[in-house]
Structure 1
Amino acid sequence: MYVLYHGPKDKEHDCTHGTKGVYLNGAEDVALIEYAKLTGRPFSVFSLDTGRLNPETYELFDKVEKHYGIHIEYMFPEASEVQDLVRSKGLFSFYEDGHQECCRVRKVRPLRRALKGLKAWITGQRKDQSPGTRASIPVVQVDPSFEGLHGGAGSLIKWNPVANVDGKDIWTFLRTMDVPVNTLHAQGYVSIGCEPCTRPVLPGQHEREGRWWWEDATAKECGLHKGNIDREDQAPKVGVNGNGSAEARAPDIFQSQAIVNLTRPGIENLLRLENRAEPWLTVLYAPWCPYCQAMEASYVELAEKLSGSGIKVAKFRADGEQKPFAQAELQLQSFPTILLFPGRTVKPIKYPSEKRDVQSLLAFVNSLR
């Protein structure tokens, strides 16, 4: 769930353009609604409904509505995207190939739509929730993964007000204020997500061990807080390459069957073609770049939308030893750089905007088809 604080009734601060939104999913987030109530300012709440939540979670939504006298607005995934995923891979594909694809359809994209109307959002993340991915979260940050009301990098502030609060103190506050909580907590569930991906933890187990238990225990984020996966054990290790420039070694990004991974010879061939059979949209990126990471979900979604349309979507890693070539031949000035190689024009056309959401990128492609 989320809480929106309503500002003055003007064009910039009406209910459709909330200045702050609070992400609410666990016990910490219910506490944020109570804090919002205590401020005395009007607020509204909306929630992500993935269609796979526990019955107890839906019961909590009902309790919250009645307790605070509010109506929750629900954000749902696109039905066609869920249908395509289930028809092609089944209901439980995440047990075999990881939860990221399912979470992207059911959670990340609906949240991305919701955050487009905000300048800031507030989460219930705590540092001690997940030492693997949340130990270093700041209280206030520029959101590394989502865009806000005005679009572009840096357009959304992310506030984690209980980042430094111990989980026991959260529960003391909840009991003192008689705040409604999910009844699954009493059954051993601590971190609660979708029903197929959540189970209770045993005494002595960490709370995140009940989420996606079949996967790497150090990377348990669904995509809503993907920027957290910059842990000590996977943080970019910066060295100096033969050209004297800083180069970071980090896990690759833009991983999708809909995106072609271009090698140096591949993009050189693309440059030489004078009459391409089809246009190519290509991102020049570095996997350690936070702005590249922030646009990953949008670019993957765009690639999936363009699949079968006659437009190829590709990526080319342009850091390290490839950077001088990319600067000289591919108009690279900063990461990410997005190029469209039209069907009948030799020189690629550089995307001129800082807005890297799906709609903006699609408008660019369509204008030059």
Structure 2
Amino acid sequence: MAFVATSSSTTAISASNLARSTGSPSEPNEVAEKVEVEDYEQLAKQLENASPLQIMDKALEKFGNDIAIAFSGAEDVALIEYAKLTGRPFRVFSLDTGRLNPETYQFFDAVEKHYGIRIEYMFPDAVEVQALVRSKGLFSFYEDGHQECCRVRKVRPLRRALKGLRAWITGQRKDQSPGTRSEVPVVQVDPVFEGLEGGAGSLIKWNPVANVDGGDIWKFLRAMEVPVNSLHSQGYVSIGCEPCTRAVLPGQHEREGRWWWEDAKAKECGLHKGNLKQDAQEVPVNGTANRDLFEGKNLVALSRNGMENLLKLEKREEPWIVVLYAPWCQFCQGMESSYVELAEKLAGSGVKVGKFQADGEQKEFAKQELQLGSFPTILFFPKHSSRPIKYPSEQRDVDSLMAFVNALR
């Protein structure tokens, strides 16, 4: 079923409006109301192969002053550049959570000066922030997840900002998070937030770079010589609040630098909840619905009892390395070949290589007893110690894993 919504170009001509324009009296039913509507699913199909510049131009043309660009302080500056290139007037807003990096604030200032604009900042409610910090402390998100903090500092301010608009423009890309954003359309009726007129279908969401590769975004930024956040040169790719963002290593996916202590599927703040493929439950991605991971003759699949027995042993005949994984996790999928190769290299060495599927009903056990923070978690069970040692690095190539084992066995 296609969503149909009223755009800002909607023309509603009532009898009373007509009477005012002509100065003549009219009866209430003399002129029928006319409303221009648009099928945004169909428009998305029409624009699927359009360039970001074409999509931006269409968005600004349709909504004028009732649309604004959501600017996060990262590569969203590409959206501002595209808007400038259309030659049309445009608005930019940003969410200042109060916990951004100093470099991000400096970047905001540079962008305003470069484009001659004023960014419309939205701030969290001071009373809500105060209540959260007083009751749970400054860093509660490390213990119980980032959603509550993001709801106070980001989602609610965004909701207020959008209530003054009929449409907004975001920098969502399909390749940012293949497990959650892979079906982002270039334009859609916003499935979560409400716009100026209120109610379902009152806000249109434009994603001009949805089909653009992250590498191509950066080629564009370099070619146009626009300001960029200096954090990017320090290894930061996806940039959010300072406590919840860190640099990533070469070869790591950009979202691994966000909320790194949580599951891969949870790496969203709630601003784009309506576009998530995996929202309320763990959903297999990349075609792994019917297959397990880490299959190999040198790998031992451990049951819950097997893991409990490993934990109980104070002296083991052989050390073990075990990966805690979920088949749907894209990061587990990404390390599959290196872990299987590790098992082959360790065959006959006296080190056992195992796997334990720790999602679903086993997740709470894994979190409480096995130090599970996010998938995958890798543990080494030494020969003469009951306490497992958690692999601290996100470098999951076979050489790094082998160095970890060799240092401990």
The normalised TM-score by structure 2 is 0.52
Instruction: Return the letter of the residue paired with 2:251.
Output: G
> Who is 1:188 aligned against?
235
Q: How does 1:213-224 map to 2 (within 5 A)?
A: 213-224=260-271
Instruction: Return the letter of the residue paired with 1:39.
Output: T
Structure 1 residue runs of 4 or more that deviate by more than 6 Å after TM superposition = none
Cα distance change on mapping 1:232 and 1:105 into 2, 3 Å: closer
- Is 1:120 matched up with 2:139? no
1:89-116 deviations in Å (ceiling 9; x for gaps): 0000001111011001000001100000
Q: How does 1:273-312 map to 2 (within 5 A)?
A: none
Match among 59, 71, 90 for residue 24 of structure 1: 71
SS of the equivalent of 1:136 reads coil
Distance, in Å, in 2 between the alignment partners of 1:19 and 1:39 is: 17
1:303-348 deviations in Å (ceiling 9; x for gaps): xxxxxxxxxxxxxxxxxxxxxxxxxxxxxxxxxxxxxxxxxxxxxx
Distance, in Å, in 1 between the alignment partners of 2:128 and 2:107 is: 27
1:236-282 deviations in Å (ceiling 9; x for gaps): 89xxxxxxxxxxxxxxxxxxxxxxxxxxxxxxxxxxxxxxxxxxxxx
> Who is 1:77 aligned against?
124
Match among 220, 223, 227 for residue 176 of structure 1: 223
1:145-203 deviations in Å (ceiling 9; x for gaps): 10001100111111111111111111111001101110000100000000000000011
Instruction: Return the letter of the residue paired with 1:126.
Output: R
Q: Is contact 1:46-1:72 (8 Å) kept?
A: yes
Match among 254, 262, 265 for residue 207 of structure 1: 254
Distance, in Å, in 2 between the alignment partners of 1:232 and 1:111 is: 20
Q: Which has the larger radius of gyration?
A: 2
Structure 2 residues not aligned, in runs of 5+? 1-7, 10-59, 285-409
SS of the equivalent of 2:165 reads coil
Cα distance change on mapping 1:235 and 1:218 into 2, 3 Å: closer
Cα distance change on mapping 1:232 and 1:50 into 2, 3 Å: closer
> Who is 2:155 aligned against?
108
Instruction: Return the letter of the residue paired with 2:235.
Output: G
How much has 1:44 moved relative to structure 2? Answer: 2.9
> Who is 2:401 aligned against?
none
How much has 1:235 moved relative to structure 2? Answer: 7.7
Distance, in Å, in 1 between the alignment partners of 2:266 and 2:276 is: 7
Instruction: Return the letter of the residue paired with 2:153.
Output: R
SS of the equivalent of 2:110 reads helix
How much has 1:88 moved relative to structure 2? Answer: 0.3
Distance, in Å, in 2 between the alignment partners of 1:233 and 1:117 is: 29
Distance, in Å, in 2 between the alignment partners of 1:48 and 1:175 is: 25
Distance, in Å, in 1 between the alignment partners of 2:74 and 2:139 is: 27
Distance, in Å, in 1 between the alignment partners of 2:252 and 2:282 is: 25
Instruction: Return the letter of the residue paired with 1:73.
Output: E
> Who is 2:378 aligned against?
none
Q: Is contact 2:175-2:182 (8 Å) kept?
A: yes
Q: Is contact 2:69-2:91 (8 Å) kept?
A: no
Match among 148, 155, 160 for residue 207 of structure 2: 160
Instruction: Return the letter of the residue paired with 1:45.
Output: V
Match among 148, 158, 183 for residue 136 of structure 1: 183
Cα distance change on mapping 1:154 and 1:56 into 2, 3 Å: same
How much has 1:232 moved relative to structure 2? Answer: 9.6
Q: Is contact 2:65-2:90 (8 Å) kept?
A: no
Q: Is contact 2:170-2:206 (8 Å) kept?
A: yes
How much has 1:18 moved relative to structure 2? Answer: 3.3
Number of corresponding residues? 224
1:286-306 deviations in Å (ceiling 9; x for gaps): xxxxxxxxxxxxxxxxxxxxx
Cα distance change on mapping 1:212 and 1:235 into 2, 3 Å: closer
- Is 1:50 matched up with 2:97? yes
SS of the equivalent of 2:114 reads helix
- Is 1:93 matched up with 2:136? no
- Is 1:41 matched up with 2:116? no
Q: How does 1:55-70 map to 2 (within 5 A)?
A: 55-70=102-117
- Is 1:149 matched up with 2:209? no
How much has 1:219 moved relative to structure 2? Answer: 2.2
Instruction: Return the letter of the residue paired with 1:215.
Output: E
Cα distance change on mapping 1:205 and 1:98 into 2, 3 Å: same
> What is the root-mean-square deviation of aligned Cα atoms in Å?
2.2
Identity %: 81
SS of the equivalent of 1:186 reads helix
SS of the equivalent of 2:81 reads helix
Q: Is contact 2:188-2:204 (8 Å) kept?
A: yes
Distance, in Å, in 1 between the alignment partners of 2:199 and 2:65 is: 18
